[in-house]
A and B are shown apart, each in its own frame.
Chain A
Amino acid sequence: MALDKIADKVIDTDLLVVGGGTGGCPMAAKAAEQGLKVTIVEKSNTKRSGNVGHGIDTYGIFAHGISVIDAVRLWQKKDMQGVNGPGRWVNSNIDYVLFKQGFWALDELERLGVPMKWDNGKYYWTPHLLRAPGVKAGLRVHWQNVKPIMTKMVKDRGVEILNRVMVLDLLTKNNRVTGATAVNTRTGEFIVIKAKAVALAAGFLCRCFEPETPTSYKYKFRYHYCPASISGDGFAIAYRAGAKLANMDINAWGFRIRDDATISFGNFPNNDGTPSKVFNWKGEEPPSYYYTKIAGYDEAEHIGMAPFYQSLNHLTDDYQKRLELNYNDEWLLAFKTAEDRKFNPRTHWWEFGKNKPLQFMMPQGVATDEHFRSSVDGLYAVGDNAAGVGGAYGACISGLVVGDTVSSYISEHGEPDIDEAQVESQKQKALAPLAVEDGAEFMDVECAIRYICERYVGNMRSEGMMREGVRRLNTLRREFANKIEAKNPHYLMRAHEVRNIMDLAELHIHACLNRKETRGGFVRVDYPEMDPAWNQKVTLQRMENGKSVLEIGEMPDLKQEYIDAEEGEK
């Protein structure tokens, strides 16, 4: 059967970009400048979608005031392994490319029309992560409206944008990506997109854990940032297409949506190099063990020391005004939220949520090399969608790098050969929830998945608890996965988000069960010691012939050619 008989619409493009956020837009603009036909598929609307949809106050981490190699080492050893444990990361060669290309990307963004400079026309550098004497690695930006600017940027370059369209699955043939199937979440149109290359820029995953809003979970989205981007769609479709996912045993980023901390994420706790203070409920500054280590927090709860609070009361008046600018640039709505909750950062504290399953988001995602190529031919992943790439800077740089280089892949490969039987099969799955009557509500199933993850694979894991989690998840899948009803195309999108979250929750539990050790924020109470066999190792998971495959990969060292190149420059 011809494709146009199966699909309501068939689109033919060179590069399909899944997700029109901070990674997808710069990539699309750059690729379009190379003469490629580029299509962005965005589940929401590129004008306000993605993790910086509401704005952002600090863009970077740059090798600014520090060499590239030192930045790579510091980032890996201090920032990443400090949280995730020694010997645990993804690929330092990715960090090398991000730091190496950072200033090139800065120039490119300026050229593309994205404002990077401060009011005085200069770059404004602040101490932000990579904390070391004399290092100001963060670039403070006014990015409240960066997404409308990026949308104009891609439109001006002829990029086709499909807003309110969700990619449901990737199309592949002989381990090469050939396109994707998608659905319009307003009209219900079933769309086939033929593409010579596909780049995933759809953010990360955290909706398999519960939020910490003061409202019930169903209504969490009122003040939630970027609800659309965190269902892990880019992870799930890559996994089902056979691409490897890395580090799924590291917890998805638990919703750190706790009351007042909701009001800002970017620079808020760091505040231009003047970090917040931490107090216990009695107003004493506790040893950091109790709020930086999971076992420490657990102990603090048992001895009645918890909860802990962060405070910015110590900031000078000038720095309190800067904080207002953070709110303005990061999320204008933060003012309204704070006002509604009567939260005044000059005098009030907010709870430090270390009791949440939380490690660090950036190591998790699609496994790529430093050129952001996945294990499926022609499939790239950037930004939070890729393992080891995170934040606005990682998204922009990785997006620009792929946008700059993907044309050579495309020119070397012919037209994609679409497997129509695969399209037909994906269509049946895609539209099935529309036919379900008196079925389960998507949010009920999503909340059930979150409950399972939180209860059975939370902070303090053990074999028995996780086995029970697997059993419950299997039951949930058996009973409800095919019974989620979608009353309209919008709810069809929600049903498919739940399908993705369920697949990823399953991967998460299996990966945690397989790692029989404790390392960094990953705690197995039944295996409380680090196992040296896991040093420099990465959990990799992929789907093969409908079955989930887990393997342990080696964490690559920084390539000698990169070290030599930097030595040569010195």
Chain B
Amino acid sequence: MTESMENIVDQHYEEEFEFPLWKLIKQCAEEKDISYSEASELVVPEYVKGIRYGDIEYEDAVIAAREKEMAEKRAKDNIVMEEKQAGKQLKEV
């Protein structure tokens, strides 16, 4: 039996991409002939305006949704672990 290795090698790392913010920082640094750090200070204040910082209602909703997911996961974990412990006592360390 043989299996192609192509599908399992680096499958998470095959695409090219650019962080939008990093792209802006690089462009700014090149245009103004300044360091990335200096460019970052120029670019970030504008970039921040496009993010919903300070929208407490939105933030709390996102956080609550993730909390709910985690609580469901914990409940599911507990059931699995109870079943597992019934078959084999796990060493809790």
Contacts and interface: CB of A to CB of B under 8 A. Distances in A.
Interface of A: 118-120, 122, 124, 127, 142, 144-145, 272-275, 285, 287-289, 293-296, 299, 316, 318-319, 321-322, 324-325, 327-328, 332, 335, 338-339, 341-344, 346-349, 518, 520, 523, 528
A288 B74 contact: yes
A104 to B, nearest CB: 26
Contacts of B52: 318
Interface of B: 12-22, 25, 36-37, 40-41, 44-45, 47-54, 58-59, 62-63, 66, 70, 73-74, 76-77, 80-81, 84, 90-93
A339 B44 contact: no
Given A119-B48, A293-B93, A518-B93, A325 B81 contact: no
Given A119-B45, A127-B63, A318-B51, A335 B13 contact: no
A327 B11 CA distance: 24
B27 to A, nearest CB: 13
Given A288-B77, A295-B93, A319 B36 contact: no
A311 to B, nearest CB: 10
25 contacts: A124-B53, A124-B54, A144-B40, A145-B41, A272-B63, A275-B66, A285-B73, A294-B93, A295-B92, A321-B21, A322-B51, A322-B53, A324-B19, A324-B20, A325-B51, A327-B19, A327-B21, A332-B40, A339-B19, A342-B14, A347-B15, A347-B17, A518-B93, A520-B93, A523-B93
A339 B22 contact: yes
B63 to A, nearest CB: 4
A289 B77 contact: yes
Given A343-B13, A347-B15, A287 B45 contact: no
Identify whether the interface residues of B are mostly helix, strand, loop, or mixed: helix
Given A318-B51, A321-B51, A328-B44, A342 B13 contact: yes
Given A127-B63, A288-B74, A344 B93 contact: no
Contacts of A316: 62
Nearest to A122: B54
B63 A339 contact: no
Nearest to A140: B53
B53 A528 contact: no
B70 A275 contact: yes
